[in-house]
Amino acid sequence: MTRLLGISGSLRAGSFNTALLRAAQQVAGDGIALEMATLHGIPLYDGDAEARAGEPAAVAALKRQILASDGVLLVTPEYNNGIPGVFKNAIDWLSRTSPVGNIPSVFGGRPFALIGASPGGFGTILSQNHWLPVLKTLGVQLWAGNKLMVSRAGSVFDADGNLVDDKVREQLAGFVQGFAAFAAR
């Protein structure tokens, strides 16, 4: 069983990216367990707060989920042509909290992949591109075997957040299964 962790970079209840992650769970296929993680409850990173109180519980929980996974799927929105602050903040916490040297244990060599959905016409191409230097710095094994940037997301999800576009569903299934095969190596 290949264990993947999907993290939606949006806190919004009606997020297209959270809906895309739920759809990824549905199409993952046999031999793939795709768990969802949330960024809710992660405070803004503050080194002084970390020194006083240590690692917040929400950060510790997300770190445990990452460490238990074979690979991490970042499902990224695009805000103002870049990475959402709440998403980058969570990654910053994960790279900074004790024990010292979390970058190698949490990120180093761990398979990561990027997908995203946007109501705009270009999908999340700029956000995904902005993740590249961050992920390189963290030393992840970025799977670049495929791309998935869902544009005009309002037309591929219904009002309840269900994926209704068969072509996108097929692309998503291929992406998740390809990433799982990469992560299992």
Provide the terminal-to-terminal Cα distance of the chain, rounded to the nearest Å: 12
Low-confidence residues of the chain, pLDDT below 50?
none
- Residue 110: the pLDDT is 97
Predicted local confidence at residue 99, as pLDDT: 56
Q: Which pLDDT belongs to residue 101?
A: 61
What is the structure's pLDDT at 115?
98
Question: Which pTM was predicted?
Answer: 0.96
- Asked if residues 23 and 8 have their Cβ atoms less than 8 Å apart, the reply is no
Other C-beta atoms lying within 10 Å of the C-beta of residue 78: 25
Question: In the chain, what are the domain boundaries?
Answer: 2-184
Kindly report the CA angle at 13 between 12 and 14, in degrees rounded to 5? 90
Beta bridge partners of 113: 73
Pick one of 3.40.50.2300, 3.40.50.360, 3.30.420.40, 3.20.20.100 as the CATH number of 2-184. 3.40.50.360
Nearest CA to 10 out of 25, 24, 2, 20 is that of: 20
Taking a C-beta distance cutoff of 8 angstroms, is the pair 170, 138 a contact? no
pLDDT of residue 100: 54
Per-residue confidence (pLDDT) for residue 177, from 0 to 100 = 98
Q: What is the pLDDT of residue 102?
A: 72
pLDDT value at residue 145: 87
Report CA 165 to chain centroid distance, whole Å.
Answer: 21
Nearest CA-CA partner of 185 in 34, 103, 71: 71
C-alpha–C-alpha distance, residues 141 and 149, integer Å:
20
